[in-house]
């Protein structure tokens, strides 16, 4: 009996290994095995946030100890040069490509994912992300920047998009009672990938470096191989619930928060025609733009605002510090960045879980109102030299940045139903691609304009903070305008039943415990959580130990 990998049913009635029908769970499956599978993929692709650890070593891949610079090098010539070292700015384009292609791939392939199922999408993500890293390794070895852009930036970016959205619909359907918590668990992994990957990459580069190599291409290959194993295990661990399944003992609420949770479904082809889709798109885009802009300037911002105060020399500006003091300040700023990363990750789980209690619209309102207050207060904290309050403000801001990502899939499920939520979420992620360009550009250009105007010290970022607060105010208005959909947008019950018929026919059992239902932390589930939990704990401890330097 064949286990074919195509969409056709194999001889003898068996479904192909990668088909959606093949992974419909049977009674007895424990739903708590699905979040670790999602985390296994998200922790790997989350290394996209940590790629900056490679920039400086790659900028001296020819010179080894110092960059082999060429004064006449342009961006175009940098793509093919074999005699000049790359500039950090040339390498940094890969970061932009990551998130542009993440959003594009999520939008383009979201509909296919709903038909094909999360297992096939997860495997495709593993092939693209890890294959892209392997292509980049060849590009480093042959010193061809275009191969790195193509490998990790384009192909890897497509893998990011597929991997990012692969578990969303599945988790929401497995946890109808805890939508926010379920998506928060998985998307937390994307934020946490760099906590594991960055220090691991540093260890590997140090191990592989020689008098003739900075050790990056070897690191890419080793990490690609390790990531491939983890991502394949995650993809093969995915299961989808049968049509109509619900946790044992759970009854969908008859009433909900201001009518904002529907039990109906909107078709993918209609979702983007609604005002609600674009209002949530705008809310996400503005929240992310404000947060991602801060991520990009966090280190220099702390150094330039507080300067000598960070090392016990109050009143001394950053430019007036000696080399030793600047090194100390840089270490403290690195701790600040690490602390922001931890709050970014923790916020994904905290705020998404809290949204199950508050409601998604209310949670987003908190993001915007609290964010406006904190951004508006930041210049006062800077002027007063209140370092701890300044740091705490941005930790909270970054927690809401991460929380916005983790809460929005459940927000979409509340408004549009669960039938096509993965694909709708994929299309919404174009807001992330847009924010990835808008946020850093706005922040960097405002800062440069202030520098050109002779502004320095604690006042350098004042205008930036007020403009970011204004962006959040616009987001607050967009979120405030979100209303329940009118009846005409929802699918007919017969059409929904026809779509669900295949899953119901394969598995039967539309309800039941599937393990221990609302609990389910069996020995097997605990083992699965340990596999992903131990690396996360190592990354958090490693980052926290470095971040605490800021309070010494």
State the virtual CA torsion across 459, 461, 467, 472 in degrees, nearest 10.
Answer: -120
Q: Do domains 30-68+77-244+504-545 and 256-492 have the same CATH topology?
A: yes
* DSSP secondary structure letter of residue 397: H
| Among the ranges given (6-15, 76-85, 389-398, 528-537), the one the predictor scored with the smallest mean pLDDT | 6-15
Tell me: pLDDT of 518 over 80: no
Helix axes 179-208, 523-547, angle to 10 degrees: 60
Taking residues 218-243, report their average pLDDT: 95
* DSSP secondary structure letter of residue 150: I
pLDDT of 192:
86
pLDDT of 310:
81
φ and ψ of 490, to 5 deg: -85, 145
Smallest Cα–Cα separation from 42: which of 222, 225, 192, 170?
Answer: 192
Contact, 287 vs 472, CB < 8 A? yes
Contact, 517 vs 248, CB < 8 A? yes
Smallest Cα–Cα separation from 479: which of 372, 375, 360, 398?
Answer: 360
pLDDT of 512:
42
Tell me: pLDDT of 416 over 90: yes
Tell me: pLDDT of 20 over 90: no
* Residues ≥6 apart with Cβ < 8 Å to 47: 193, 194, 196, 197, 198, 201, 223, 227
Taking residues 521-550, report their average pLDDT: 88
Query: Would you state the structure tokens that stand for residue 501, as one six-digit string?
Result: 């018929």
Tell me: pLDDT of 507 over 80: no
Half-sphere exposure of 116 (CA within 13 A, CB side): 21
What's the Cα-to-Cα distance from 507 to each of 20, 24, 339, 418, 419, rounded to whole Å? Answer: 12, 6, 46, 19, 18
Half-sphere exposure of 192 (CA within 13 A, CB side): 30
In terms of Cβ atoms closer than 10 Å to its own Cβ (0-12, 13-18, 19+), residue 257 is: middle
Which carries the bigger pLDDT value, residue 122 or residue 550? 122
Helix axes 156-165, 421-428, angle to 10 degrees: 140
Cα–Cα distance for residue pair 217/140, rounded to 1 Å: 6
State the pTM of this model: 0.85
pLDDT of 145:
96
* DSSP secondary structure letter of residue 490: B
Contact, 28 vs 239, CB < 8 A? no
Cα–Cα distance for residue pair 471/465, rounded to 1 Å: 10
Contact, 165 vs 45, CB < 8 A? no
Contact, 297 vs 443, CB < 8 A? yes
Contact, 202 vs 80, CB < 8 A? no
Tell me: pLDDT of 56 over 80: yes
Straight-line distance from the first to the last Cα atom of the chain, in angstroms, rounded to the nearest whole number: 66
Smallest Cα–Cα separation from 231: which of 120, 69, 378?
Answer: 120
3-state helix, strand, coil in the chain (%, to 5): 75, 0, 25
CATH topology of domain 256-492: Growth Hormone; Chain: A; (1.20.1250)
Confidence of residue 437 (pLDDT cuts 50, 70, 90): confident
pLDDT of 4:
35
What's the Cα-to-Cα distance from 148 to each of 57, 157, 174, 221, 384, rounded to whole Å? Answer: 15, 12, 38, 13, 45
Cβ neighbours around 63 below 10 Å, total: 13
| Residue-by-residue DSSP string for 364-386 | HHHHHHHHHHHHHHHHHHHHTT-
Confidence of residue 281 (pLDDT cuts 50, 70, 90): very high
Query: Would you state the structure tokens that stand for residue 506, as one six-digit string?
Result: 């394969």
Provide CATH code, domain 30-68+77-244+504-545.
Answer: 1.20.1250.20
pLDDT of 1:
29
**312 Ramachandran zone, left/alpha/beta (phi>0; psi -120 to 50):** left
In terms of Cβ atoms closer than 10 Å to its own Cβ (0-12, 13-18, 19+), residue 359 is: buried
User: pLDDT over 90 for what percent of the chain?
Assistant: 52
Query: Would you state the structure tokens that stand for residue 451, as one six-digit string?
Result: 């520098």
User: Across-strand partners of 266?
Assistant: 490
User: Across-strand partners of 240?
Assistant: 24
| Among the ranges given (96-100, 318-322, 375-379), the one the predictor scored with the smallest mean pLDDT | 318-322
Cβ neighbours around 429 below 10 Å, total: 26
Cα–Cα distance for residue pair 275/260, rounded to 1 Å: 15
Cα–Cα distance for residue pair 538/551, rounded to 1 Å: 21
Query: Would you state the structure tokens that stand for residue 431, as one six-digit string?
Result: 């807001």
Tell me: pLDDT of 224 over 90: yes
Q: Cα–Cα–Cα angle for 93, 96, 99, nearest 5°? A: 150
Query: Would you state the structure tokens that stand for residue 140, as one six-digit string?
Result: 């480093």
* DSSP secondary structure letter of residue 265: -
Tell me: pLDDT of 375 over 90: yes
| Domain range annotation of the chain | 30-68+77-244+504-545, 256-492
Summary mean pLDDT of the chain: 87
Tell me: pLDDT of 9 over 50: no
| Residue-by-residue DSSP string for 67-127 | ----TT--HHHHTT-SSSPPPHHHHHHHHHHHHHHHHHHHHHHHHHHHHH-HHHHHHHHHH
pLDDT in tens, 174-187: 998 888 998 898 88
Whose structure tokens read 């924010």?
A: 435
Which among 273-282, 312-321, 386-395 has the top mean pLDDT?
Answer: 273-282
């Amino acid at each position: 009996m064949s286990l074919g990998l195509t969409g056709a049913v194999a001889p003898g009635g068996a479904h192909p290994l990668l088909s959606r029908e093949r992974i419909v769970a049977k009674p007895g499956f424990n739903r708590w095995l699905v979040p670790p599978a999602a985390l296994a993929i998200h922790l790997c692709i989350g290394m996209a946030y940590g790629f900056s650890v490679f920039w400086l070593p790659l900028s001296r891949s020819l010179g080894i100890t110092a960059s082999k610079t060429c004064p006449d090098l342009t961006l175009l010539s940098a793509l093919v040069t074999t005699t000049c070292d790359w500039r950090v700015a040339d390498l940094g384009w890969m970061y932009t490509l990551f998130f542009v292609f993440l959003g594009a791939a999520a939008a383009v392939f979201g509909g296919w994912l709903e038909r094909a199922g999360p297992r096939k999408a997860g495997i495709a993500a593993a092939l693209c992300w890890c294959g892209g890293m392997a292509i980049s390794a060849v590009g480093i070895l042959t010193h061809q920047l275009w191969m790195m852009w193509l490998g990790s930036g384009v192909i890897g970016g497509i893998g990011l998009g597929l991997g990012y959205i692969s578990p969303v619909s599945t988790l929401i359907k497995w946890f109808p009672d805890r939508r926010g918590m379920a998506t928060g668990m998985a998307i937390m992994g994307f934020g946490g990938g760099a906590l594991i990957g960055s220090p691991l990459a540093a260890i590997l580069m140090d191990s592989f470096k020689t008098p003739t190599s900075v050790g990056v291409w070897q690191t890419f290959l080793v990490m690609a191989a390790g990531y491939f194993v983890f991502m394949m295990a995650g993809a093969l661990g995915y299961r989808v619930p049968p049509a109509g399944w619900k946790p044992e003992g759970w009854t969908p609420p008859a009433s909900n928060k201001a009518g904002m949770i529907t039990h109906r479904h909107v078709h993918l082809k209609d979702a983007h025609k609604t005002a609600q889709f674009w209002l949530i798109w705008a809310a996400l885009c503005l929240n992310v733009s404000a947060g991602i802009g801060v991520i990009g300037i966090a280190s220099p911002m702390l150094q330039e605002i507080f300067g000598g105060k960070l090392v016990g020399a109050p009143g001394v500006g950053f430019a007036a510090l000696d080399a030793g003091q600047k090194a100390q300040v840089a270490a403290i700023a690195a701790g600040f960045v690490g602390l922001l990363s931890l709050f970014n990750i923790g916020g994904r789980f905290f705020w998404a879980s809290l949204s199950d209690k508050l409601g998604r619209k209310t949670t987003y309102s908190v993001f915007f109102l609290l964010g406006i207050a904190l951004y508006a207060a930041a210049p006062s904290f800077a002027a007063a030299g209140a370092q701890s309050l300044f740091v705490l403000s941005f930790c909270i801001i970054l927690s809401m940045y991460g929380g916005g990502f983790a809460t929005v899939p459940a927000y979409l499920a509340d408004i549009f139903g669960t039938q096509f939520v993965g694909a709708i979420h994929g299309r919404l992620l174009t807001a992330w691609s847009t924010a990835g360009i808008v946020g850093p550009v706005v922040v960097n250009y405002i800062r440069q304009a202030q520098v050109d105007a002779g502004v320095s010290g604690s006042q350098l970022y004042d205008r930036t903070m007020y403009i970011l607060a204004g962006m959040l105010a616009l987001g607050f208005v967009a979120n405030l305008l979100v209303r329940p959909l009118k009846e005409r947008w929802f699918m007919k019950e017969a059409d929904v039943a026809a779509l669900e018929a295949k899953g119901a026919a394969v598995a039967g059992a539309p309800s039941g415990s599937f393990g221990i239902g609302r609990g389910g932390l069996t020995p097997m589930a605990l083992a699965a959580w340990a596999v992903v939990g131990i690396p996360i704990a190592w990354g958090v401890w490693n980052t926290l130990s470095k971040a605490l330097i800021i309070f010494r």
